[in-house]
């Protein structure tokens, strides 16, 4: 099954290699209109998914992720229109040199090729990821969560119709219709047809892809993020940053999970922090418990956990080194912040902390393609190969060298 889809995906890619950015943008607009036109069908399909979800006892938070409404479909359509307005990442000359007289080498951006995109319950990701991969000239094989299958199928069917109406091969966007584990595994090892796998979802999904994939993977999104409040921090700024990083949207990967605080300011700051973090469960080391009686003792496990919830672990540290060591031990290389007015310490933190995004005096919540001005975002990479940090359209491309000569042979 994956083989068949892979062959079609590669074929579609070849057929569309001469399409212009304008043609791609028109197709994206057509897709947006298509979703609006087919919204009744899509909502009906979603109702079926919701019925099955409720039957199976899915929790309310998950149900909310799965639910589509006319507003959410309109927002998907607007997302595709916004993608159409972004500059094309293709055919940029990234480097150019005349390497011998009359022999010019150019490095240009080209599509990655066939992308396998594996995601979980939110059906709007089908439109978002499909649109971004298409904009960057790729062919995409979407493997959504089985709980969203009917919704995904309705969305992808609509997008494929729009592709056809726009003169593109439909198989540039395909949905895996078999939700068995076996087929997902097939996708992960399909090195002959799939150039890259991008998983987007919880730690379980990411782990499973890392375990099983033979296709190169861009790892995304696990964020055990820290804020270190240094002895030289401006405490007026510290509490609002902490509240923003923990409470604004606790379920996302750029939310803070552990507060590290220098011993010299712990007594002054922690009571204020507790007050401002009302509704957040705190778990601290012994020094924290002394200052904030009644707080639960933090375990080793707590420091290693991405809570993705209104829970914050706190540890008092004796030095910048101890804070950096803690982050090296427990961090996932996502987003790490220091709050300090000490320029030397800020410099050391920036250099020594090994993470996709390192902050000085700002909330970790800015780690986001939209905030960075990338337009769309396909995920946040926490690995070091190819892309690190928020991934936009550029990260969905590769490169090709073109050398044009007039009979050049190597000396």
Length of the chain: 411
- Pick from 218, 261, 277, 323 the residue near its own copies by CB under 8 A: 218
Judged by beta carbon, residue 170 or residue 361, the one nearer its own copies is 361
Using CB under 8 A as the criterion, what x/- string covers residues 234-263 for binding its own copies?
A: x-xx--xx-xxx--x---------------
Q: Residue 407 interacts with its own copies (CB under 8 A)?
A: yes
Shortest distance, position 238 Cβ to its own copies, whole Å: 8
Q: What are residue 338's phi and psi, to 5 degrees?
A: -115, 140
Give the footprint of its own copies on residues 176-215 (CB under 8 A).
191, 195-196, 210-211, 214
- Interface segment toward its own copies; rule CB under 8 A; list 40-48, 262-270, 307-315, 399-407: 399-407
Rounded CA separation 210/219 (Å): 8
DSSP-derived 3-state class of residue 14: helix
Q: Residue 18 interacts with its own copies (CB under 8 A)?
A: yes
Judged by beta carbon, residue 70 or residue 87, the one nearer its own copies is 87
Using CB under 8 A as the criterion, what x/- string covers residues 324-343 for binding its own copies?
A: ----x---------------
Question: CB–CB of 135/82 below 8 Å?
Answer: no
Question: CB–CB of 371/262 below 8 Å?
Answer: no
Q: What are residue 284's phi and psi, to 5 degrees?
A: -130, 170
- Best CA proximity match to 259, nearest among 244, 352, 372: 244
- Pick from 105, 231, 276, 310 the residue near its own copies by CB under 8 A: 105
Give bridge partners of residue 336 from the DSSP assignment: 226, 358
Q: Residue 404 interacts with its own copies (CB under 8 A)?
A: yes
Which contacts qualify for 95-101: CB closer than 8 Å, 24 or more apart? 99/403, 100/405, 100/408
In which residue are the tokens 């998950």 written? Answer: 62
200 contacts: CB under 8 Å, gap ≥ 6: 117, 118, 119, 120, 125, 129, 220, 221, 378, 379
- Pick from 64, 216, 263, 286 the residue near its own copies by CB under 8 A: 216
Rounded CA separation 140/10 (Å): 10
- Pick from 3, 164, 181, 400 the residue near its own copies by CB under 8 A: 400
- Pick from 1, 17, 54, 93 the residue near its own copies by CB under 8 A: 17
Using CB under 8 A as the criterion, what x/- string covers residues 342-381 for binding its own copies?
A: ----x-x-xxx-xxxxxxxxxx-xxx---xxx--------
Judged by CB under 8 A, the number of residues near its own copies is: 69
Judged by beta carbon, residue 286 or residue 371, the one nearer its own copies is 371
Question: CB–CB of 163/173 below 8 Å?
Answer: yes
Rounded CA separation 124/200 (Å): 13
Shortest distance, position 40 Cβ to its own copies, whole Å: 35
Binding-site ranges for its own copies (CB under 8 A): 14, 17-18, 97, 99, 103, 105, 107, 112-113, 191, 195-196, 210-211, 214, 216-218, 234, 236-237, 240-241, 243-245, 248, 328, 346, 348, 350-352, 354-363, 365-367, 371-373, 383-386, 388-389, 398-410
């Amino acid at each position: 099954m994956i083989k068949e889809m892979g062959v079609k995906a590669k074929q579609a890619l070849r057929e569309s290699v001469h399409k212009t950015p304008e043609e791609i943008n028109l197709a994206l607009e057509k897709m947006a209109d298509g979703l609006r036109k087919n919204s009744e069908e899509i909502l009906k399909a979603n109702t079926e998914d919701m019925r099955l979800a409720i039957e199976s006892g899915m929790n309310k938070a998950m149900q909310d992720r799965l639910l589509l409404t006319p507003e959410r479909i309109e927002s998907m359509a607007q997302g595709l229109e916004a993608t159409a307005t972004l500059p094309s990442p293709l055919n940029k000359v990234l480097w150019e040199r005349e390497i011998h007289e009359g022999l010019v080498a150019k490095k240009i951006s080209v599509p990655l090729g066939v992308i396998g995109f594996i995601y979980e319950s939110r059906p709007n990701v089908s439109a978002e990821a499909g649109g971004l991969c298409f904009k960057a000239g790729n062919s995409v094989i979407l493997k959504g969560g089985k709980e969203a299958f009917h919704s995904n199928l309705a969305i992808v069917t609509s997008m494929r119709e729009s592709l056809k109406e726009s003169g593109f091969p439909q198989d540039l966007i395909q949905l895996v219709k078999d939700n068995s584990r076996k087929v997902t595994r097939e996708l992960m090892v399909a090195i002959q047809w799939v150039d890259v796998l991008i998983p987007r979802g919880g730690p379980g999904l990411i782990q499973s892809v890392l375990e099983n994939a033979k296709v190169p993977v861009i790892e995304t999104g696990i964020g055990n993020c820290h804020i270190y409040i240094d002895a030289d921090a401006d405490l007026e700024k510290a509490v609002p940053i902490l509240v923003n990083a923990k409470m604004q949207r606790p379920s996302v990967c750029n939310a803070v999970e552990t507060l590290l605080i220098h011993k010299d300011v712990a007594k002054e700051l922690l009571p204020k922090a507790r007050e401002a973090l009302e509704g957040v469960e705190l778990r601290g080391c012994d020094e924290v418990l002394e200052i904030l009686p009644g707080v639960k003792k933090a375990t080793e496990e707590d420091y290693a956990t991405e809570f993705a919830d209104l829970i914050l672990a706190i540890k008092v540290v004796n030095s910048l080194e101890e804070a950096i060591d803690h982050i090296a031990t427990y961090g996932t290389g996502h987003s790490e912040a220091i709050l300090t007015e000490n320029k030397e310490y800020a410099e050391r933190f920036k250099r020594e902390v090994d993470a996709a995004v390192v902050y000085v005096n700002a909330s970790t919540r800015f780690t986001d393609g939209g905030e960075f001005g990338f337009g769309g975002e396909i995920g946040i990479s926490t690995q070091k190969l190819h892309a690190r940090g928020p991934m936009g359209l550029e990260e969905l491309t590769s490169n090709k060298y073109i050398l044009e000569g007039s009979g050049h042979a190597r000396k």
